[in-house]
Structure 1
Amino acid sequence: MTIPNLITILRLVPVPVVVLGMLQARWEWAFAGFVIAGVSDGVDGFMARRFNKQSRFGAYLDPVADKLLLVSVFVVLGFAGELPLWLVVIMVSRDALIVCAVLLSTVMAHPVEIKPFLVSKANTAIQIVLAAVVLGELAFALNLDPLRPALILLSGVLTVASAAAYLVAWLRHMSGYGESSKPGT
């Protein structure tokens, strides 16, 4: 257990605080918890790289912690009417698609290693900014139009592009595309 992994595990603690804050319209709590989780994400990543404490466990746990927070925030904001439901549906569907593809390939004894594409990193970054903007607007009674609608549209486009990139990569992997084959086999 490394310090970066411990920070990642502790990053799961603000998730219920953020969700409860949103459900009770305590937007300041939600925003503060979201910011704390975001800062700790940066800290654990920096520490892991700087002090060469990267681990396989951390490589799996970090995106799980990120997705747990983002999916929770998007779902609650969607049901609160602060984000369009179509965006929430495609975001959750993309993540479910990736999880199902990994599980299916593992069950079929052809496991796939998911490495984030540039479009997926951009997608996650825009989703984080969008969630922060919406929570910030609600916490501080701001109106950041036209920023929110632009972020919603960009997030939707990047989510679909990311899902397509993962689907194509998974289909190539499952069909054996790019695998070297020995002569005579």
Structure 2
Amino acid sequence: MNIANKLTILRVMLIPIFLVFILTDFTAMNHIYALVIFAVASFTDFLDGYLARSMNLVTNFGKFMDPLADKLLVASALIAFVYLGWLAPWVVILIISREFLISGFRVVAASEGLVIAASKWGKIKTVFQMVMILVLMARFDGEYIFYIENALVYIAVIFTIISAVDYMVKNKHVLTEGSK
């Protein structure tokens, strides 16, 4: 197993640790610890992709597991945010629905021996979702932070929709070819 794939696995392993800190209050610093853990996990997303491409370490495992690790990390944070009252449930439902949809496309493609790698729009979506999560976790104070947080939520939602449409249009053959 190469270093890029190990970083992806590390990201998955950080999720339960992140959840313990975000959902408990056994120290006054829990949210800060959760923020740092999420930031580290998010950075592994960038780092594993960079290493995989620059060192020619791209594998089918990485193409499958990297987006799945991102989905698990983001979904865990978003569900925790609904529980904490930090985010509206409709946002989480929309984002997670997109993830199920794209995962379904990937499963069908895999059954045909195809691997659907992350697209540019999917990567942009992930970046905005992770930035939104980090800003919401930072719990900034200030006169305008509410507007910044809301703008990030809506930008993340917009890129979530754009990336879903992009995947469906580019990969519609996955669903239509088997029905001929």
TM-score by length of 1: 0.81
Q: Tell me the equivalent position of 1:183.
A: none
Q: Tell me the equivalent position of 1:7.
A: 7
Query: The residue matched to 2:44 in structure 1 has which SS?
Result: helix
- Which runs of 5 or more structure 1 residues have no equivalent in the other structure? 177-185
- Which runs of 5 or more structure 2 residues have no equivalent in the other structure? none
Q: Work out the CA distance in 2 between the residues paired with 1:161 and 1:75.
A: 22
Q: Tell me the equivalent position of 1:156.
A: 157
Residue identity matched to 2:141: L
Given candidates 61, 86, 89, the residue that maps to 1:85 is 89
Residue identity matched to 1:14: L
Alignment of 1:33-182 (within 5 A): 33-104=37-108, 110=112, 112-137=114-139, 141-143=140-142, 144-176=145-177
Change (3 A) 1:68 1:35: same
Q: Deviations over 1:119-165 (max 9, x none)?
A: 2222111101000101112xxx5342321000111112221222222
1:102, 1:111 within 8 Å by CA — same for their partners in 2? no
Residue identity matched to 1:92: I
Q: Work out the CA distance in 1 between the residues paired with 2:107 and 2:78.
A: 24
Q: Work out the CA distance in 2 between the residues paired with 1:145 and 1:124.
A: 21
Q: Deviations over 1:87-108 (max 9, x none)?
A: 100011011111223334555x
Change (3 A) 1:54 1:172: closer
Provide the identity percentage: 29
Q: Work out the CA distance in 2 between the residues paired with 1:97 and 1:103.
A: 10
| Alignment length (residue pairs) | 171
Q: Work out the CA distance in 1 between the residues paired with 2:109 and 2:62.
A: 22
- The CA deviation at 1:77 is 0.6
Residue identity matched to 2:11: R
- The CA deviation at 1:117 is 3.1
